[in-house]
Amino acid sequence: MKRLLASIHDVSPRFEREVDQLLDHLAPHVGQRLAMLVVPDHWGGAPITPAFAGRLRRWADAGIEMFVHGWFHRDTSVHHGVAALKARRMTAGEGEFLGLDHGEALARMQRGKMLVEEVTGRAVAGFIAPAWLYSDAARDALVDAGFALAEDHMRVWAPAGATLAKGPVVTWASRSDGRALSSLAAAAVLRRALQPLPVVRIAVHPGDVTRPALLRSIDRTFATLMRGRRPAAYADLLTAPRASISA
């Protein structure tokens, strides 16, 4: 059976209402078979509160996978060359791990891992960098931090091992009309083009709830890609036969 991996990004007290809306919106498609990407202190102004920690634990107890999603989610590095182009075109000051050296990337990863595991009482599923952007040093730090799984735009991999799934993640942009329209067009193409893949990924963000057109596209994308698939956990990729997850 083919698999679909769903995730809610930017899970933080700052976006608690939006996360609740997304959970309700995705429930008819995947129930609670999804992942949450937890930001420990979004932009340095939204640390995990005791009340929100309780919610994270209950979600984890219900079977939702928890990923560490950076620490601040804010990029304060100075970039040059290709990295500068990625920082301008692929995100708006959100690529926290795009410019970090090994030591700083590892320290933030370890702090995030410790916090989320302490809050939930469970091992985290893995690490996914904000905006899916990593420096080479940050990719190396994933191994030292002991994460079982990582993800970027084009693949899911085991930091100490092999690539586990290939293919672009389907996601949407909400911060401008132009980006919203382009993401709608991309989703319309991808939900058809990705049909043959054994594993597909859909990622939603808090901002998606502000645009009804994005929510309608999310519904159409799930409805299309769920045909012949079952919602799965990222951790399933670690135990599935390689032939069933590789394109």
Sorted by where each starts, the structural domains of the chain and their CATH numbers stand as 2-244 (3.20.20.370)
Q: Are 155 and 236 in contact (CB under 8 A)?
A: no
d(CA 103, CA 13): 28
Q: Which helix (H) or strand (E) is 22 found in, with range? A: helix 16-30
Low-confidence ranges of the chain (pLDDT < 70): 75-94, 241-247
Q: What is the DSSP letter of 49?
A: P
At CA 102, angle to CA 155 and CA 246, rounded to 5? 15
Helical spans, DSSP H, in 70-211: 81-89, 102-120, 136-145, 177-193
The pTM score is 0.91
d(CA 174, CA 180): 5
- At 84 the pLDDT is 40
Q: Are 215 and 209 in contact (CB under 8 A)?
A: yes
- At 247 the pLDDT is 45
Q: Give pLDDT tens digits for 36-77.
A: 999 999 999 999 999 999 999 999 999 999 999 999 987 554
